[in-house]
Amino acid sequence: MNKQTFEQLYRRYFPPLCAYARRIVPPEDAEEIVGDVMMWVWEHPELDGQITSSLNSYLFSAVYHRAISRYRQTHAQAKADTRFYIETQLLDDVDSCQISDLYRHVEAAVSSLPETYREAFCLNRFDGKSYKEIAGQLGVSPKTVDYRIQQALKLLREALKEFLPLVAFLLCV
Which structural domains are found in the chain, ordered by start? 3-87 (1.10.1740), 94-172 (1.10.10.10)
116 vs 130: CA distance, rounded Å: 16
Q: Is the dihedral of CA 40, 41, 43, 44 positive or negative?
A: positive
Q: Backbone dihedral region of 57: left (phi > 0), alpha (psi from -120 to 50 degrees) or beta?
A: alpha
**Predicted pLDDT at 173:** 46
60 vs 167: CA distance, rounded Å: 50
Instruction: Please state the three-class secondary structure of 146-161 as a single string.
Output: HHHHHHHHHHHHHHCH
Beta strands in 31-139 (DSSP E): none
Length of the chain: 173
122 vs 28: CA distance, rounded Å: 53
Q: 68-87: per-residue pLDDT in tens?
A: 999 988 888 888 777 776 66
**Predicted pLDDT at 55:** 81
Predicted model pTM: 0.47
Q: 48-60: per-residue pLDDT in tens?
A: 656 656 888 889 9
Helices 115-125 and 96-111 pack at an angle, to 10 degrees, of 130
